[in-house]
Amino acid sequence: MPEQSYKNHTKWDPPVHFFVMPVIVATLIFSVVHAWDYPNGITLWLVLLSVALCVWVVKTRTYALGVQNRLIRLEERLRMEKLLPVEVMLRFDELTVGQIVGLRFASDGELAELTRRALDERLTPKQIKEAIRDWRPDHLRV
């Protein structure tokens, strides 16, 4: 597995991102065009079914990401309790989920400084990730 960094940390699931999603979007487009050309109960039903399928796939993905974010928040809270000074840890609840998700890639040695910066400067997740000097990979993401 190649070394993870800011430039390559995005997780792609080829069967979902490059097969399922394009097929569903193409099906939706095809069903809308077909219903436009031949409006009847069946073609309109296919449009409705295609929209439902799109919603289902998106919601399924967002549910998985929501659970993953809750787990990351818990893992990082436990990690930070060990590594951060008390005065910084007392401000944990000021961090957004996005900031916590970004901080999980920071090495133990730079976590305290970067957490302070994230809190004081209200860094975005992208700014946090770009500021990391020693990347801590996460290969177990959904």
Q: pLDDT digits over 57-83, tens only?
A: 999 999 999 999 999 999 999 999 999
- pLDDT above 70: residue 1: no
**45 and 88 within one domain:** no
Domain residue limits at 47: 13-71
pLDDT tens sequence across 79-94: 999 999 999 999 999 9
Q: Which residues of 76-110 are buried (b: 16+ CB within 10 A; e: fewer)?
A: beebbeeebeeebeeebeebeeebbbbbbbbeeeb
Please choose, from the candidates 88, 134, 76, the residue with its C-alpha nearest in 3D space to the C-alpha of residue 113. 88
Domain endpoint, select from 49, 71, 93? 71
- pLDDT above 80: residue 13: yes
CA–CA gap between residue 136 and residue 107 (Å, rounded):
5
**60 and 91 within one domain:** no
Q: Which long-range contacts (CB under 8 A, 24 or more apart) does 85-91 make?
A: 85/112, 88/112, 88/115, 88/116, 88/119, 91/119
Average pLDDT of span 121-132: 97
pLDDT tens sequence across 35-63: 999 999 999 999 999 999 999 999 999 99
Element (H, E) at 122: none
- pLDDT above 70: residue 2: no
Q: Is residue 43 part of a domain?
A: yes
- pLDDT above 80: residue 131: yes
Residues 6+ away with beta carbon under 8 Å from 122? none
pLDDT for 3: 81
Q: Is residue 8 part of a domain?
A: no
pLDDT for 10: 77
Average pLDDT of span 99-128: 97
**57 and 19 within one domain:** yes
Please choose, from the candidates 138, 139, 142, the residue with its C-alpha nearest in 3D space to the C-alpha of residue 107. 138
Domain endpoint, select from 48, 71, 94? 71
Q: How far is CA 39 from CA 26, 28, 34, 80, in A?
A: 19, 15, 8, 59
